[in-house]
Amino acid sequence: MISNLIKRKVFTLLKVQYSNMLEYRVEIALWAISGIIPFFMLNIWTSNNLNEGINFSNVMLSRYFLCAFFVRQFSVVWVVFSFEEDSLMGKISPYLIQPLNPFFRYFAQHIAEQITRFPFALIIAFFFFIFNPESIWIPNLGILFLSTISTFLSFLIQFLIQSIVACLCFWTEKASSIERLLFIPTLFLSGLLAPVISFPEYVKSWIYLTPFPYLIDFPANLLSGNPTNISRGFSMQILWIFLLFPLFKRIWTEGTKKYTAMGS
């Protein structure tokens, strides 16, 4: 009975958000295009033969950056921006009355957006292969499955971090600037612009303890078939989720007590 109810909730939420997202196809296509920075980076790496120093062949590097593009496409999170707008406009109040944590709504929004985004990402990958035919490869099913899971875990970590930041809206009203601050290490340390293996030693010694390399570098290496420590990757991802989730619950309960229903 209860599981049935949850299933219905999940299904309805997803359906509503998916039809909502389909309305904004063009926007989502533009979002997908705006994620092509890894390809520019690949161009710098290969045009200057920078990969010779780190034992990465051109083909492997281009696969790596393509996978980084994919992982990034399916782990983009913007919950803090939605939440900030809703809380400034007072839209949170009706959500709070409903017997459903509003973050489920945002979560469904993200999942629906990823489903909408999928065909666009495939088209971009198709063009990538036209220009780089030598890098075509087909990962085996097991790897595909594992990397999908690790991408999802990466998405979960980022969703939790951003939700925690979003909850700060209850105190400061404009939490998105904190998110922009947190985005900087994510951008430079996650492996989106350069594979973590190419980082200098003084960074590599501590970076694997932070969540950043597991956001893009680990799933991308896994998917592209580059060597990576699979068990460490998964355990660190799960560890970070277990660390962040209670923190989110805590800040959520504290925050809703602080809520002052702005705007309406």
Partner 1 sequence: MKIRKYLKVYAKFLHTSLASEFEYKTNILIDLITAIFSLIGSIFLLSIFFQNNSTIGGWEFEQALIIQAIYTILNGITNTWFNPNLTEIVKHVREGTLDFVLLKPIDSQFFISLKKIAPSGFLEIMLGFCLLIYCAIINQINLNLIFLTLCLITIICSICILYSLWFFISTTTIWFVKTWNATEVLRSFLYIGRFPLNSFSFSLRIFFSVFIPVAFITTIPSEVFLGHYQLWKILLEVMVAIIFLFNSRKFWLFALRFYSSASS
CA distance 198 to 201: 9
Cβ–Cβ < 8 Å for 208, 219:
no
Total Cβ atoms within 10 A of residue 185: 13
CA distance 91 to 87: 6
Among 11, 40, 137, 145, binds partner 1 (CB under 8 A): 40
Among 24, 127, 137, 145, binds partner 1 (CB under 8 A): 24
Cβ–Cβ < 8 Å for 108, 17:
yes
By C-beta, is 188 or 234 nearer to partner 1?
188
Using CB under 8 A, which residues numbered 179 to 198 contact partner 1?
Answer: 180-181, 184-185, 187-188, 193-194, 198
> Both tokens of residue 25?
């196809």
Residue 172 binding partner 1, by CB under 8 A = yes
Dihedrals φ, ψ of 81, to 5°?
-70, -40
Residue 144 binding partner 1, by CB under 8 A = no
Q: Which contacts (CB < 8 Å, 24+ apart) does range 115-120 have?
A: 115/18, 115/21, 116/18, 116/21, 116/22, 116/25, 116/28, 117/28, 117/31, 117/32, 117/73, 117/74, 118/74, 120/28, 120/29, 120/32, 120/33
Residue 48 binding partner 1, by CB under 8 A = yes
By C-beta, is 153 or 175 nearer to partner 1?
175
Q: How far is the CB of 8 from partner 1 (least distance, A)?
A: 32
Residue 88 binding partner 1, by CB under 8 A = no
Residue 127 binding partner 1, by CB under 8 A = no
Among 2, 4, 5, 34, binds partner 1 (CB under 8 A): 34
Using CB under 8 A, which residues numbered 199 to 218 contact partner 1?
Answer: 199-200, 203
Binding stretches for partner 1 (CB under 8 A)? 24, 26-27, 30-31, 33-37, 40, 43-44, 46-50, 52-54, 172-174, 177-178, 180-181, 184-185, 187-188, 193-194, 198-200, 203
